[in-house]
Structure 1
Amino acid sequence: MSQVRKAVIIGAGPAGILAALRLQQFNHISPIIYEIRPEPTTLGGAIGIPSNGLRLLYKLGLWDALRDRGAETSTVSVHAIKGHVIGNMDMASWSREKTGFGYLRIRRVDLMEVLYDEARKAGIPICFSKHLTGIEEDNQGITVTFSDGTSDKADLLLGCDGIHSMVRTLYVDPNTEPEYSGISNIYSLVATSELPSAAASIDSLNVMLTTDGLLAISPCRASREMVYWFFSRELAIPPSGDTRDGWEERGKQQVETIKSTVLDLIKDSEGEWGLTMKETVRQTNTLRFYPIYHLPAGGKWSKGRCLVIGDAAHAMQPHASQGVSMALEDIFMLSNLLDSNPASLNEVFRIYEQKRRPRVNEMHQLAERNGGVRKRISPWQLWLKEIATSGALGIYSLFGLSKLGIGQKPLAYDIEEDMH
């Protein structure tokens, strides 16, 4: 295959725009992005980006703009069901020492505004209302066609269109389908001006285990004028089945009842945090529900001149905050390999999969393990878990185990080192 000069990218989410920026900046490839939505989406809550992703955003020149909007929240405070803190842990002290970056929580809409602004400045075209209907390949390149009758041809096609990827479904791997994880989230963004004054001083991720799932709250803007809270719990597939209609009905039921459910679960929570959390739930006007899906490991990632990356290839549960970071690692690995193997896409994709699969599988398993704390437990199990958590965090703090990098080593992963 000849050298890549033009890349068609399907999907104008974080993975698509970041891929376009990197390929243009580093590889001098001309990218064009096609997006199925009619305009940039404003949906989504707040995204967590740990050290491994932040280091790559810095290399793209995006760190300062994102830091100005997001909240650096590297510490997690664990609360008992009564409200008091049973332990604190810095999630990024060791990885920050290794990489220079901690953990950023940022609204998805803020992230996308920064990315669209950067794409605009770089002159990267983004075409909306483009529903992909076909992919064909020959010796000269790969051609995509859309429902409006238009088409485009390039040397490289990237599927950056998320877990329900049309690129994967139409061309790369039609047999791999998303699977429900058994966990669902309810989340909301609330202005701190509507909450007790203590809400504006929340500067870390605060979590509480309940008998019915995990409750958490965190700042998500640098100015601390907004908090992001979510309740993550085990939830069965709707009786009507794993269908869009079934989940829409289940979502409506959850949104209608979740405030009273959460308030009942934390009714004995006292102190400043307990009161703030209760008032945050009460003052929430808009709730969003989403069942968490993931892709099974082992699916195909490439075919001919086409590669799927990010969630389109290996969507995992969000419980390790690795969605954006995994996409960034994919992009940098691809970009570096294109630079070192300019004449052979086959060789690029072969080495890419050889290097990426172990890393992706490691983070996939971590996210799945972290999802386990969302499962329903009895009051006795919760009591025992609180005691165990308090003891573990106490030992962690007393002996300074953060210096050993326990739990943080995957966050110091360096894509450049993996090239050797």
Structure 2
Amino acid sequence: MSRPRKVAIIGAGPAGVLAALRLQQFNHISPVIYEIRAEPTTLGGAIGIPSNGLRLLHRLGLWDALRARGAETSTLSVHALKGQVIGEMDMTSWSREKTGFGYLRIRRVDLMEVLHEAARKATIPIHFGKHLTGITEDNQGIAVTFADGTSDNADFLLGCDGIHSMVRKLYVDPGLTPEYSGISNIYSLVPTDQLPSAAASISSLNATLTTDGLLAVSPCRPNGEMVYWFFSRELAMPTSGDTRDGWEERGKEQVETIKSTVLDLIKTSEGEWGQIMKETIRKTETLRFYPVYRLPPNGQWSRGRCLIIGDAAHAMQPHASQGVSMALEDIFMFSNLLEAHPGPLDEVFRIYEQKRRPRVNEMYLLAERNGGIRKKTTPWRLRFNELATSGALGIYNFFGMGKLGLGQKPLAYDVEEDKN
């Protein structure tokens, strides 16, 4: 089989644009991206990218531009409901030493502006308003058709179109459907010039445990001019079932009531941090709600000349901040295997899945475990959790256990150490 020269990519989110940049730079393959939205989206809150993803972004030449738009927030500060800090830890001390990178929190819109500008400079075409309707292939290549009557041909196809992937639904694994995790998030972005002056100096991810979920606040811009906050909680599926109308109604209810709900939960919070939290909630003007879905593990990832990557293949809960990083690892692994194995694509896909599934499953389970602290609990259980967290973090820091890499080894993983 001759080396592939052209790839069609469905999805102009992070996975799609990053895949195009890598395949063009490293494999000298010409990418064309197709996006269902009519224009680049401005939706989304702030994304966390740990060491394993940041190292790969640096290799793509994107780190400096992203660092200039985001906030490095490697420290976790855990607060009791009363407001006081009960423990702190550097989440990336060991992995930073191994990789040279910590943890970046960046608005999704800033991330996408950097990626689309990189694609523009690389003259990678992105076609918007393209609703995928069909995929066919033969021995010569693969063809995609769109609702507007246009079509395209390529040597292979990448589905980078997220958890609700049309590539997966139409072609790769039509029977696999997303499932609700039981956790939902409310989030917002708030300029710090509307908050107490101390808010502009927040430099870490600040988490507060409550009886009804996890409240977290983090900077997401380099000079502290904006904070991202979210409230992540256990929430039952709508009584009408897993339907769009049901979730739209549930989301409307949550947006209307969540500010008063959270303010009631933190009403006993005192001191400077208590004031910052309360003012952040009060000054919030626009709230977004989204139920957290995931894909059941071990679905099919490829068919013929088509491969799905990132959330299209293995969407996991966001509680390990690995969405962008997992997509990057997928991209680099696949790119390297294309160079190392110039044979049939189905053999490259087979080796790719064999190598990627253990790592993806590891992070999938980690994200699921981290979701446990979002579940409802009693006041007594919350107090026990606060004491346990304080004790565990105290021991962790006193004995310098971060130097052993506990909890950080997955963040130092380098997908390029496994190239063949």
* 1:87 and 2:100 correspond: no
Partner of 1:138: 138
1:46 is matched with which residue?
Answer: 46
In 1, Cα distance between the equivalents of 2:14 and 2:244?
Answer: 24
SS in 2 for 1:416: helix
2:183 matches 1:196: no
What letter matches 2:138 in structure 1?
A: D
Aligned to 2:281: 281
- Pairing 1:306-325 to 2, within 5 Å after superposition: 306-325=306-325
- Give structure 2 stretches of 5+ with no counterpart: none
CA distance in 1, matches of 2:342, 2:8: 17
CA distance in 2, matches of 1:223, 1:123: 32
Note the C-alpha offset of 1:229.
0.2
Q: CA deviation at 1:419?
A: 2.3
Q: Which amino acid aligns with 1:15?
A: A
Distance 2:297 2:226 in 1: 36
Q: What is the CA-CA distance between 1:34 and the residue it aligns to?
A: 0.2
In structure 2, C-alpha distance between the alignment counterparts of 1:416 and 1:165, rounded to whole Å:
27
Q: Residue 229 of structure 2 aligns with which residue?
A: 229
Q: TM-score, normalised by structure 2?
A: 0.99
Per the TM alignment, residue 223 of structure 1 is displaced from its structure 2 partner at its CA by 1.4
Q: Distance in 2 between matches of 1:362 and 1:8?
A: 30
Q: Tell me how far apart the structure 1 counterparts of residues 43 and 223 of structure 2 sit (CA, whole Å).
A: 21
* Pair 1:290 & 2:322 matched: no
Q: CA RMSD in A?
A: 0.6
Aligned partners of 2:354, 2:184: CA distance in 1, in Å? 32
Match of 1:208 in 2: 208
Aligned partner letter, 1:199: A
Output the TM-score relative to the length of structure 1.
Answer: 0.99
- Residue aligned with 2:415, SS: coil
Aligned equivalents of 2:285, 2:208: Cα separation in 1: 22
SS across alignment from 2:227: strand
Name 2:384's counterpart in structure 1: 384
Detail structure 1 runs of 4+ shifted over 2 Å in the superposition: none
Identity %: 80
Name the count of aligned residue pairs: 420
Instruction: Give the C-alpha shift of residue 418 in structure 1.
Output: 2.1
- Cα distance in 1 for residues equivalent to 2:310 and 2:157: 14
Distance 2:206 2:121 in 1: 37
Is residue 170 of structure 1 aligned with residue 176 of structure 2? no
Query: Aligned partners of 1:123 and 1:297: how far apart in 2?
Result: 36
| Offset of residue 344 of structure 1 | 1.9
1:125-153 C-alpha deviation (Å, 9 max, x unpaired): 00000000000010110000000111100
SS of the residue corresponding to residue 129 of structure 1 reads coil
Residues 4, 342 of structure 1: 8 Å contact kept: no
What letter matches 1:359 in structure 2?
Answer: R
Cα drift, residue 2 of structure 1: 3.1
Partner of residue 261, structure 2: 261
- What are structure 1's unaligned runs of at least 5 residues? none
User: What SS does structure 1 have at the residue aligned with 2:216?
Assistant: strand
Contact map agreement 1:172 1:306 (CA 8 A) in 2: yes
1:72 aligns with 2:69: no
Q: Quote the residue 1:14 is aligned against.
A: 14
Map of 1:157 onto structure 2: 157
* AA of the residue aligned to 1:116: H
SS of equivalent to 1:112: helix
Q: Is the 8 A contact 1:3 1:344 kept in 2?
A: no
Cα offsets for 1:189-234 (capped at 9, x unmatched): 0000000001001000000000000000000010110000000000
CA shift, 1:343, in A, is 3.0
- Asked if 2 retains the 8 angstrom alpha-carbon contact of 1:47 and 1:108, the reply is yes
Instruction: Name the SS for the 1:69 alignment partner.
Output: coil
